[in-house]
Amino acid sequence: MTFKSCLGALGLVWGGWSVAAETAPLRLSEEAYQRNHRQYLLLCANCHGADRNGGLGGSLVPGNWRRGETAEEILKSIKIGYPEAGMPGFGALLPDAEVRELVAYLQEAPRRPMAETARKTAGASTRDLSAAGETFVLEDVATGLETPWGIAWLPDGRMLVTERPGRLRILGTDGRMSAPVAGTPAVFAKGQGGLMDVAVHPNHAQNGWIYLSYSQPRPGGGGEAGFTAIVRGKIVDGRWVEQQMIFEVPAALHSGSGRHYGSRLVFDGAGFLFFGIGDRGADGTAQNLAHPAGKIHRLHDDGRMPADNPFAGRAEVWPSVWAYGVRNPHGLVRDGVTGRLWETEHGPRGGDEFNWIEAGKNYGWAAVSRGKNYNYMPVKWATSRPDVNEPLLDWTPSIGASGLAFYNAAAFPAWRGSFLAGGLVGERVDQIVVSADGSARRETILKDRGRVRDVRVGPDGFVYLALNDRRDEKAGRIVRLRPAAAQK
């Protein structure tokens, strides 16, 4: 039976989808509803959440539509997508009739009282939790933040927190959160962009420098576009002052894509600054050595170009490139034991990676990946290649690999020498243990407390997380894992 005749059988007259939908929404049979629910879980839940309340993609519940909520508009959203924003079009994969059923499913789902919409417990827990040989409690450090992105500490114990829409705040040692620091750079706050990481210079006590990464609006205007940029500055009396530009790209390279900015900031203690930039949602960038996107970069901490970067002397290579072929490096950390640089990145659908980043090496994207296409079209890449560094671990399905920390403090002895990797869609923290032979294994130590965007080890040795509530962008929080036995 065709879709039209199916409508006929339901007693509807087909006179154009929007008319049909607005006057008499298509009711799916129970069987069709369940089939489309499974289809939704397979194709869409990855980004929009199993309960349709959002994740990487927005919420698909009534009242929250940005692209229009008539059946016609939803149909168009699904068929054509918004590739620039990270929504793949499904028109090539699904026949129109199946897309229409998905539309009907999305319209009907909110009317059903479903177990699947039961709210998971977010944030703090008074109960003791145990994982990987440690017992801890989870406690709130700060609440009511809008998409907290990065955390860092000043030498006096105060904490700096960025909120993605463009705010930098200071959490006092008395637990009081400051007003936003005035005068931080304007951001291109579209999609995944905004104010991102914050890092404190290792010699901050002497020089006062604080570093910020952000999506810089295209210099000189010229339309809706941005690119990852880095500044440093100082905070004096609640104001951002003495700002210096550390990294920016020419206006011509700015892009309208709201995706894949990367941008974690890492100092190596020897005067260098490392950071990653994602592919900006354009497949060709990461393998193009002339382009700054899809790379791990290295600069002197004052922004000067090092003379000894791996491609030094090759005029066609973007000079700060340290390693290339990364998709969206959202976690970057240097371990204080071996001094090596480690990275986590988002794969396409599956194929999130944990990598040891070595100078001059290729990490494969978009020619090599273990992931699949979001819209289930055949992939264009290989799963391995001799000249491409393999990840030590990959996550399939994706966890939305985010902040990455190296744990070497005293509070959790069993975790010493291991990594803690956050996941956005996975809403979890995984411990990663790398063995001497280079193999790695992972174990989930926390789950279902919210989207984990940053993971840091505090000066007290406790583990701090920036959590995002996918239902409510303004309900982000900082929590910490404190050993159950430790005093507050």
Binding footprint of ligand HEC on the chain (CB under 6 A): 43-44, 46-48, 56-58, 60, 65-68, 74, 77-78, 82, 85-88, 90, 102, 374
- For 117-161, give the DSSP string: GPPPP-S-EEEEEEETTEEEEEEEEEEEESSEEEEEE-TTS-EEE
Distance CA 343, CA 402 (A): 10
Please tell me the distance from the alpha carbon of residue 193 to that of residue 145, in angstroms, as a whole number.
16
- CB-wise, 67 or 304, nearer to ligand HEC? 67
**Residue found by looking up tokens 């229409």 in the block:** 100
Smallest gap, in angstroms, from Cβ of residue 40 to ligand HEC?
6
What is the nearest approach in angstroms of ligand HEC to the Cβ of residue 328? 12
The beta-carbon contacts of 152-159 under 8 Å, at least 24 apart in sequence, are: 152/198, 152/199, 152/200, 152/210, 152/456, 153/200, 153/458, 153/459, 154/200, 154/204, 155/200, 155/204, 155/205, 157/459, 159/458, 159/464, 159/478
- What is the nearest approach in angstroms of ligand HEC to the Cβ of residue 82? 4
Phi-psi region of 308 (alpha: psi -120 to 50; beta: other; left: phi over 0): alpha
Q: How many CB atoms lie within 10 A of CB 361?
A: 18
Spatial contact of 97 and 48, defined as CB atoms under 8 Å apart: no
Please report the beta strands in 201-327, taking only residues with DSSP state E, as ranges in sequence order: 210-217, 226-236, 239-247, 265-267, 272-277, 295-300, 321-324
Judged by CB, which is closer to ligand HEC: 46, or 162?
46
Residues contacting 307, CB < 8 A, separation 6+: none
Which DSSP symbol is given to 445?
Answer: E
The radius of gyration of the chain's CA atoms, rounded to the nearest angstrom, is 23
Minimum Å gap between C-beta 103 and ligand HEC is 8
First to last CA, the chain: 66
Active-site annotation holder among 260, 291, 297, 346: 260
* Rounded CA separation 41/226 (Å): 32
> Which amino acid, 83?
P
Q: How far is the CB of 110 from ligand HEC (least distance, A)?
A: 13
Nearer to ligand HEC, 169 or 346 (CB): 346
What pairs with residue 343 in β-bridges?
332, 355
Least Å from the CB of residue 398 to ligand HEC: 9
In the complex, least distance from residue 190 CB atom to ligand HEC, rounded to whole angstroms: 8
Contact 387, 368 (CB under 8 A): no
Closest approach of Cβ 339 to ligand HEC, in Å? Answer: 36
Q: Which is nearer to ligand HEC, 371 or 391 (CB)?
A: 371
Between residues 102 and 333, which has the closer beta carbon with respect to ligand HEC? 102
Contact of 264 with 230, CB cutoff 8 Å: no
The residue among 46 and 285 lying less far from ligand HEC, judged by its C-beta, is 46
Q: Which is nearer to ligand HEC, 224 or 387 (CB)?
A: 224
Q: Measured from the CB of residue 335, what is the shortest distance to ligand HEC in angstroms?
A: 31
**32 phi, psi to nearest 5 deg:** -65, -40
Q: Is the CB of 366 or the CB of 457 nearer to ligand HEC?
A: 366
Record the tokens describing residue 352, joined without a space. Answer: 């999130």
Structure token digits, residue 427: 């809403």
Q: Count other C-beta atoms under 10 Å from residue 208's C-beta.
A: 17
Q: State which residue, 34 or 173, has the beta carbon closest to ligand HEC.
A: 34
Catalytic, 48? Answer no
Residues 6+ apart with CB under 8 A from 236: none
Which positions are annotated as active-site residues?
A: 260
